[in-house]
Amino acid sequence: MDYNKVKGWLTGEEAEFLKEISRDKDVLEVGPYMGRSTVCIARTAKSVITIDTFKHEDNETGQTDSYTSIVPFLQNTLEFDNIITIIGKSVDVAKHIKDNSKDIIFIDGSHKYEDVKDDIRVWKPKLKKGGYMLFHDYYGGFTGVAKSVNEWKKPERVIGTIAVVKII
Ligand SMILES: C[S@@+](CC[C@H](N)C(=O)[O-])C[C@H]1O[C@@H](n2cnc3c(N)ncnc32)[C@H](O)[C@@H]1O
How far, in Å, from the CA of 99 to the mean position of ligand 1? 22
Residues spanned by the domain of 96:
3-166
Model confidence band, residue 121 (pLDDT cutoffs 50, 70, 90): very high
pLDDT score of 106: 98
Q: Is the CB of 76 under 6 A from ligand 1?
A: no
d(CA 58, CA 112): 9
Q: Mean per-residue pLDDT for 64-87?
A: 91
Q: CB under 8 Å to 3, separation ≥6 — which residues?
A: 10, 15, 36, 37, 39, 40
pLDDT score of 168: 85
Mean residue pLDDT of the chain comes to 94
The answer to whether the CB of 138 falls within 8 A of the CB of 161 is yes
Q: Mean per-residue pLDDT for 58-82?
A: 81
| Helical (H) or strand (E) element with 83 | strand 83-87
Q: Which of 11-25, 43-57, 102-116 has the lowest mean pLDDT?
A: 43-57
Output the domain CATH number for residue 104. Answer: 3.40.50.150
Q: Mean per-residue pLDDT for 23-30?
A: 98
- For residue 3, the ligand 1 atom closest to its alpha carbon is 8
What total number of domains does the chain contain? 1
To test the pocket of ligand 1, the residue of 17, 43, 57, 113 to mutate (highest count of ligand atoms within 8 Å of its CB) is: 57
